[in-house]
Amino acid sequence: MSLAVELDRPAEVERLERCILNLVALVGLPAAWVGADPNEVAAGLLGALAGMLALDLVFVRLVHPTTGSLIEKAWLTPGWRLPPRAHAVGTIFDVLLGDDPDDWPTVLRERVGTRELSIVALPIGLHGDLGVLIASSEREEFPTETERLLLTVARNQAVIALREARLVSEHLRVATRLD
């Protein structure tokens, strides 16, 4: 019995090391986003999560902090038979999830296009007032505890970046009026 524990320990240590490295990468994102356009925040969030978690589909919808316009970005693994526009992907998720983030399931297993996906939808901001982050994978065990932690941290980092963008915009408006 102790031999099995010793053999499992290195894999667990590797998993924890990867998790820590990914957490450090996510925590550093807002620093890279200082002064960035919210489109860059959305694209950076997609890229980081797609590579970090080996996802099959990632979608983000952000509310621009100054204009209120919607920013939608989607990342899909090659070979999907879905419309290429992010808005169309977002519409699919709107139908699957409904309007109220409080009613969203923790994990939804659903067919999207030709694939069966485990879908995690995380509102960004209070009740999704800043947007939504949706991550999905064909893996039935998605999300693991580690993946859920990383998704939550990523969502929180997006909130920080969007709030920072709003503060910078307000500061610039005040400064412009004073000139």
| Position 67 pLDDT exceeds 90 | no
Residue % of the chain over a pLDDT of 70: 89
The better pLDDT of the pair 4, 59 is held by 59
Q: Which CATH superfamily is domain 2-178 in?
A: GAF domain (3.30.450.40)
pLDDT at 38: 82
pLDDT at 78: 85
> Domains of the chain: which residue ranges?
2-178
In angstroms, rounded to a whole number, what is the distance separating the alpha carbons of residues 16 and 28? 18
Phi, psi of 132 (to 5 degrees): -150, 145
Please state the three-class secondary structure of 111-174 as a single string.
Answer: EECCEEEEEEEEEECHHHCCEEEEEEECCCCCCCHHHHHHHHHHHHHHHHHHHHHHHHHHHHHH
In angstroms, rounded to a whole number, what is the distance separating the alpha carbons of residues 153 and 76? 21
Q: State if pTM tops 0.75.
A: yes
| Position 160 pLDDT exceeds 70 | yes
pLDDT at 173: 67
